[in-house]
Amino acid sequence: APVISQISKDVVASVGDSVEFNCTVEEVGQLSVSWAKRPSESDTNSVVLSMRNILSLPDQRYNVTVTEGPKTGSAIYTFRIQNIEVSDMGPYECQVLVSATEKVTKKLSLQIKTPPVIAENTPKSTLVTEGQNLELTCHANGFPKPTISWAREHNAVMPAGGHLLAEPTLRIRSVHRMDRGGYYCIAQNGEGQPDKRLIRVEVEFRPQIAVQRPKIAQMVSHSAELECSVQGYPAPTVVWHKNGVPLQSSRHHEVANTASSSGTTTSVLRIDSVGEEDFGDYYCNATNKLGHADARLHLFQTVIPVPSLS
Amino acid sequence: MGELEEKETPPTETTAAQQEALEEPKETDKMLDKKEDAKEKTPSPQTSKPASPNAGKKSSPVAEKKIDDAELAKSKSGNGEEIIDIPAENGTKPDSADDKKISKEEREVKPKKIPIGGLKLPGFFMKNKPKADGDGAEGELLEKEKEEDKDKEANGDAATGSGKDEQKSRPGLGERLRSFFARKPSAEKEKKQLVNGDADAKSEATAEATPAEDASDAPPKRGLLNAIKLPIANMIPKKKSNDDVELGLGKAGLASMETLDDSLKDQDTVDRAPVKTNGTEELKGELKDEKLAAEEKLAAEEEEQNRPVSLLTRLRGYKCSVDDALIVFGILLFVLLLGVIGYVLTHETLTSPPLREGRYIMAVTGCGPVEGVKEDGAFAFRGIPYAKPPVDRLRWKPAELIDDINMCWNDTLQTHNSSVVCTQRLGNGTTVGDEDCLYLDVVTPHVRYNNPLPVVVLIGAESLAGPSPGILRPSARYSRSHDVIFVRPNFRLGVFGFLALDALTKEAHPPTSGNYALTDIIAVLNWIKLNIVHFGGDPQSVTLLGHRAGATLVTLLVNSQKVKGLYTRAWASSGSAILPGKPLSESGKQNEQLMATLECADIQCLREASSERLWAATPDTWLHFPVDLPQPQEANASGSRHEWLVLDGDVVFEHPSDTWKREQANDKPVLVMGATAHEAHTEKLRELHANWTREEVRAYLENSQIGALGLTDEVIEKYNASSYASLVSIISDIRSVCPLLTNARQQPSVPFYVVTQGEGPDQLATVDADVQAILGRYEPHTVEQRRFVSAMQQLFYYYVSHGTVQSFVQNRRVINVGQDAQPEEDYLPCNYWISKDIVPRYARVD
């Protein structure tokens, strides 16, 4: 009976390389020997690529030759692939057709190196409320199998400390408002450039007010500006009060709210031509669905005009 | 010619006679009208006469009468009665002047008669004579007119003018009388009359001339002058107003003609007709002419009036325009005045706040007003809070700016002499200061908003455990003289400023710990950005000046992402070249011995410990570091030595050398590094020997790591080590100067200087020399030292103002500051120490 005495070992190649498979058959006689390719390991169907010294599938990249083997009555069937492509990856078989229903086969595997690619189903952003736990997992394809790590945007400190987390899953216990921001999932396997995916973590938290200048000085008949820096998500609504009365934008009072990329809302109350009755306490109140915060500012009188500070 | 004329005259005479006969009745009516006109006109001459001078009156009537007599005589040459009448009239007036005139007239008459009788034909005689005489008469008249014009110009008196006018009227009358006489006779008589008229004219001329001559001869000089003037005056008005005078004369003539007509009617009616006709026509023409003349005069007057009117209008217009210009000018002046007043008021309102009691001044901050005190020509505010007190739960927390009004003060904070410092360990082992210490001092020459000045932030500390601020105290005098504002902040020290522990890391968010003092300085820079404008400062021009341990902090800050936009440039003097590179967890473990000493198991326990206990629990090895020659045991212990500063991953993200590699060279240096040649000097070392000799220096070197490495002889030769100064120089180069130069070389744009100017008996450039010179506390005793102070100040303050370092050349990296600042290619001893692997291995810590 014919015997496949030898077959090449599994091959690992890169795109553009050339590979060669050798299959040595003894006592081949007049039997037909073929090279075939299976789509995947689990698929038993195969595509015949060649029979004896003839290509079944005409492809310029394929080449098949038959040479005499070391022993009498043996032959070496060589199958070559040039300019490897990703689709060439998969198992290959050397088949000897003994009869219509019986064949002797041996197989080898062709692996092709590919750069890492992060899976498309990775979310682009996620929303979490302060105090909750957060878990983010990142998957990536590529050969060799990529390693996954996490880092924060702008090299900020990770919630668990340090700057790099060498795990596929990012876990944040009791999310803090300062954990808000961009997180990079980084996949790398040494082939090509690492793949990065930015996932934005948005943390819902109640408003928090910071007043850089709690006391504002100005001279009568000059304009004054009172400023509140508000942080909160969703973006809070800011309202100004004096003596319990809301201050709407008018000829005398002008309120301007600006949002910055870092999620801070700055609210400026501008009082045009300060009068004696304008001195006193002002309140800045910020509200969102999670709560509210307020801060007090005081406008007092000076004998020299104070220029606008911006 | 004469003959032809004689032939032509007869036919005309016949025609005239016929017309006269036909028109007799009309003429009579016209004459009546004329008489009435004459009566009406008569009053005017009477009124004019009284105004005229007496001489004029006397002379003119006499002349006229004479003329009339002459005409009568000529016309009635055949009648003897008429001749008789004339002498009778003359006899009535016995005046001497009249007599003279009469005699002259007689003379004139006689010669005329004699030639007439002598000639062959009467017609020929009469015709020839009038032509010649007329020409002469005309010439004389023209001359007289000229004279009259001159007199008019000379005499401008109104009285003389009026006199002239009156005088003129009389000759006109005479002329009209002549014309009437001429018309009355027949054709031949008419001819004769024409001739007579000419003769009359001549006689008038001669009569006028003769009186002048008589006057000149008879009276004295004065009388002569007066006489001459009077006739001239008489002549002038006559010519001027001939028409008016003629009108008057016409009236008189008519009156006289009436009497004549009566006599003629009785004798010869035919003669009356032609005379009337001619007279009426002539009178009408004359009247018309007079009217036209009057109209012309009026028109001329109107024109004259118009011209001045136009001139007046122009003048008025000009005046109006002048007035308008004045008004506009006034308005402009007013507006300008308002502008000036406004500017002055505005300028006044922008001045500094007023002084209280002559030496206290108020400035405002975002937390309320502060009151400073005047000293040395500048204003000092000492003890202004810039961050929340770092006590209780905020102990070992990054500095937090005051963002809550409840943490501000009420009313005005008096910052006169407050000088609290952070709790710290002094050189003698004692502890001073408070834990609530995040305050800063501001020294400024002006409290104003215009012309903001550059800001210099003084970050001084001899070590990271104290003393601080050391010598880096602001100088009011130099603030004023160099127009800079000094800000000197306190920052936390020792374990309060730098303790890194895993337990602290875990409770923080983001998880990190350590380097709290750096966050203090970052808070200061934020405060400056928000408030320095109220003290006359420019937030866009902030220079960090660090000294010793303070310079180490400055070097780290310059490489931190946290201070971007908060400062402009930095100056690090005598800092440490050892910068943190160990992982945070490693530092945390090393610091756990503090917890063990305090018998604390958690952070709460640490937070409740008093500052005294914390200082007592601080290991002595943390408070002292080698500053002398390297010792053999240091070679093995380098890995375990304590460092206050750590890689916290937040403020200090990486080792600065990694930052230096990544960043590109800048045109303008943001950091200047420097050292002094003898900064390792200490009194303790100096007192080891009263006099350091070559042998003593050799022995000292031999006992150190240098001796262990067998380098003693090379070093002695290289440094010519034979004095205390040379020994100190060796130590300084190994511990400070050369390690810093190594760091500077990694930053191509960073200038590096070495102070080599010595002072004192050992001529040492001590660790404080450069900063003392900058702040004006270096006391020069020699010319070289004075030059050094000047050079040092020039380097620093030029850098503060302009951002560049004079004397810095890219390919000559080192600036040797002796009595001058000299750029040099290298600092030679350093290459030797680097090649022996002694630098930067044994660099000073802190």
Both structure tokens of B285: 């023409």
- Nearest CB to B366; choose among A160, A162, A212: A212
Assess contact for B290 and B172: CB atoms under 8 A. Answer: no
| Tens digit of pLDDT at every position of chain A (310 positions) | 788 998 998 999 998 999 989 999 988 887 889 999 877 767 777 888 998 788 887 788 898 999 888 878 889 999 989 888 888 989 998 989 888 887 888 889 998 998 999 998 888 899 999 999 998 999 898 989 899 999 998 888 899 888 889 989 998 979 988 898 999 999 989 989 899 889 989 899 989 899 988 999 999 898 998 999 998 989 998 999 898 989 878 878 889 988 877 788 899 998 989 998 899 999 998 999 899 898 999 999 888 889 876 5
The chain A residue lying nearest B584, using CA atoms, is A162
Whether residue A296 and residue B406 make contact (CB cut-off 8 A), yes or no, is yes
Residue B304 predicted with pLDDT over 80 = no
B301 in a domain, yes or no? no
Assess contact for B135 and B212: CB atoms under 8 A. Answer: no
Q: Which residues of A touch B353 (CB under 8 A)?
A: 302-304
Residues B616 and B667 in one domain: no
Whether residue A160 and residue B511 make contact (CB cut-off 8 A), yes or no, is yes
What pLDDT is attached to residue B290?
61
Q: pLDDT tens across B361-387, in order?
A: 989 999 999 999 988 899 999 899 999
Mutate to test the interface with B, among A163, A215, A274 (most CBs of B within 10 A): A215
Residue B270 predicted with pLDDT over 70 = no
Structural domain ending residue among the three candidates B621, B636, B651: B636
Residues B444 and B535 in one domain: yes
Distance in angstroms (rounded) separating the CA atoms of residues B516 and B435? 13
- Tell me if chain A has a CB within 8 Å of the CB of B640: no
Question: Which is it for strands A19-26 and A140-143: parallel, antiparallel or unpaired?
Answer: unpaired
Angle at B511 between CA B507 and CA B516, to 5 degrees: 90
CB burial of B403-428 (b: ≥16 within 10 Å; e: otherwise) equals: bbbeebeeebbbbeeeeebbbbbeee
pLDDT band at B773 (very low <50, low <70, confident <90, very high): very high
Q: Which residues of B touch A221 (CB under 8 A)?
A: none
Number of domains in chain B: 2
Distance in angstroms (rounded) separating the CA atoms of residues B729 and B742? 17
Residues B497 and B619 in one domain: yes
Distance in angstroms (rounded) separating the CA atoms of residues B308 and B294? 21
Q: E-assigned strands of B602-706?
A: 671-676
Q: pLDDT tens across B606-650, in order?
A: 998 999 889 999 998 898 778 889 988 787 666 677 889 998 988
Q: Which residues of B touch A295 (CB under 8 A)?
A: 404-405
- Tell me if chain A has a CB within 8 Å of the CB of B409: no
**Greater model confidence, B381 or B285:** B381
Distance in angstroms (rounded) separating the CA atoms of residues B569 and B550? 15
- Nearest CB to A157; choose among B354, B406, B650: B650
pLDDT band at B728 (very low <50, low <70, confident <90, very high): very high
Closest CA to A231 of A266, A256, A258: A266
Both structure tokens of B384: 């202004």
Residues B703 and B631 in one domain: no
Phi first, then psi: give them for residue B437, nearest 5 degrees. Answer: -140, 15
B152 in a domain, yes or no? no
Residue B310 predicted with pLDDT over 90 = no
Residues B829 and B791 in one domain: yes
Whether residue B510 and residue A159 make contact (CB cut-off 8 A), yes or no, is yes
Residue B62 predicted with pLDDT over 60 = no
Question: The dihedral of CA B255, B259, B262, B266: what is its sign?
Answer: negative
Residues B511 and B597 in one domain: yes
The chain B residue lying nearest A164, using CA atoms, is B649
What pLDDT is attached to residue B228?
56
> How close A219 comes to chain B (CA, Å)?
10
Q: How many CB atoms lie within 10 A of CB A52?
A: 13
Q: What is the dihedral of CA B769, B773, B775, B777, to 10 degrees?
A: 80
Q: Which residues of A touch B537 (CB under 8 A)?
A: none
**Greater model confidence, B416 or B162:** B416
What number of C-beta contacts closer than 8 Å exist between A and B?
86
> How close B360 comes to chain A (CA, Å)?
15
Distances (CA, A) of B664 to B563, B654, B739, B749: 18, 17, 22, 9
Residue B135 predicted with pLDDT over 90 = no
Assess contact for A115 and A73: CB atoms under 8 A. Answer: no
Over residues B713-723, the mean pLDDT reads 90
Helix (H, G, I), strand (E, B) or coil at B318: helix
- Nearest CB to A214; choose among B354, B367, B506: B367
The chain A residue lying nearest B585, using CA atoms, is A162
Residue B105 predicted with pLDDT over 50 = no
Closest CA to A137 of A172, A88, A92: A172
Residues B625 and B704 in one domain: no
| 3-class DSSP string for B830-845 | HHHHHHCCCCCCCCCC
Distances (CA, A) of B450 to A221, B304, B370, B543: 19, 70, 20, 20
What pLDDT is attached to residue B43?
43
Distance in angstroms (rounded) separating the CA atoms of residues A20 and A64? 10
Whether residue A156 and residue B510 make contact (CB cut-off 8 A), yes or no, is yes
Least confident range of A114-123, B169-178, B554-563: B169-178
Q: Which residues of B touch A164 (CB under 8 A)?
A: none
Distance in angstroms (rounded) separating the CA atoms of residues B458 and B478? 13
Distance in angstroms (rounded) separating the CA atoms of residues B844 and B734? 9
What pLDDT is attached to residue B339?
85
B391 in a domain, yes or no? yes
Whether residue B510 and residue A157 make contact (CB cut-off 8 A), yes or no, is yes
Whether residue B364 and residue A297 make contact (CB cut-off 8 A), yes or no, is no
pLDDT band at B260 (very low <50, low <70, confident <90, very high): very low
Distance in angstroms (rounded) separating the CA atoms of residues B535 and B371? 11
Q: How many CB atoms lie within 10 A of CB A51?
A: 17
What pLDDT is attached to residue B283?
56
- Of all residues in chain B, what percent carry a pLDDT higher than 90? 35
The chain A residue lying nearest B367, using CA atoms, is A215
Residues B672 and B552 in one domain: no
**Greater model confidence, B643 or B318:** B643
- 415-454 in chain B: CB under 8 A from chain A: 449
Residue type (1 letter), B394: L
- Nearest CB to A214; choose among B353, B405, B509: B405
pLDDT band at B741 (very low <50, low <70, confident <90, very high): very high
Question: The dihedral of CA B14, B18, B23, B24: what is its sign?
Answer: positive
Q: Which residues of B touch A176 (CB under 8 A)?
A: 509
Distance in angstroms (rounded) separating the CA atoms of residues B59 and B212? 12
> How close B348 comes to chain A (CA, Å)?
9
Q: What is the dihedral of CA A49, A52, A58, A60, to 10 degrees?
A: 100
| 3-class DSSP string for chain A | CCEEEEECCCEEEECCCCEEEEEEEECCCCCEEEEEECCCCCCCCCEEEEECCEECCCCCCEEEEEEECCCCCCEEEEEEECCCCHHHCEEEEEEEECCCCCEEEEEEEEEEEEEEEECCCCCCEEEEECCCCEEEECCEEEECCCEEEEEEHHHCCCCCCCCEECCCEEEECCCCHHHCEEEEEEEECCCCCCEEEEEEEEEEEEEEEECCCCEEEECCCCCEEEEEEEEEECCCEEEEEECCEECCCCCCEEEEEEECCCCEEEEEEEECCCCHHHCEEEEEEEEECCEEEEEEEEEEECCCCCCCCC
Residues B539 and B587 in one domain: yes
Mutate to test the interface with A, among B351, B361, B367, B401 (most CBs of A within 10 A): B367
The chain B residue lying nearest A209, using CA atoms, is B403
Structural domain ending residue among the three candidates B591, B621, B636: B636
B587 in a domain, yes or no? yes
Residue B603 maps to which CATH number? Answer: 3.40.50.1820
Distance in angstroms (rounded) separating the CA atoms of residues B11 and B13? 5
Q: Which residues of B touch A280 (CB under 8 A)?
A: none
What pLDDT is attached to residue B246?
41
Kind plus residue range of the DSSP H or E element containing B744: helix B738-745
B128 in a domain, yes or no? no
What pLDDT is attached to residue A310?
57
B698 in a domain, yes or no? yes
Domain carrying residue B714: 663-835
Q: pLDDT tens across B480-515, in order?
A: 798 999 999 999 999 999 999 989 998 897 889 999
Whether residue A214 and residue B404 make contact (CB cut-off 8 A), yes or no, is yes
Closest CA to A231 of A142, A291, A162, A158: A291
Whether residue A158 and residue B505 make contact (CB cut-off 8 A), yes or no, is no
B730 in a domain, yes or no? yes
pLDDT band at B186 (very low <50, low <70, confident <90, very high): very low
pLDDT band at B664 (very low <50, low <70, confident <90, very high): low
Q: What is the dihedral of CA B288, B292, B293, B298, to 10 degrees?
A: 140
Residue B320 predicted with pLDDT over 60 = no
What pLDDT is attached to residue A103?
81
Residues B615 and B702 in one domain: no
> How close B362 comes to chain A (CA, Å)?
9
Residues B539 and B688 in one domain: no
Whether residue A300 and residue B369 make contact (CB cut-off 8 A), yes or no, is yes
What pLDDT is attached to residue B671?
93
Residue B707 predicted with pLDDT over 80 = yes
- Nearest CB to B405; choose among A163, A297, A309: A297
Q: Which residues of A touch B354 (CB under 8 A)?
A: 303
> How close A49 comes to chain B (CA, Å)?
54
Whether residue A215 and residue B365 make contact (CB cut-off 8 A), yes or no, is yes
Q: pLDDT tens across B39-56, in order?
A: 434 443 433 334 334 333
- Of all residues in chain B, what percent carry a pLDDT higher than 70? 59
- Tell me if chain A has a CB within 8 Å of the CB of B708: no
Assess contact for A217 and A301: CB atoms under 8 A. Answer: yes
Residue type (1 letter), B468: S
> How close B406 comes to chain A (CA, Å)?
8
B456 in a domain, yes or no? yes
What pLDDT is attached to residue A124?
82
**Cis omega (within 30 of 0) on the bond before A144?**
yes
Residues B463 and B592 in one domain: yes
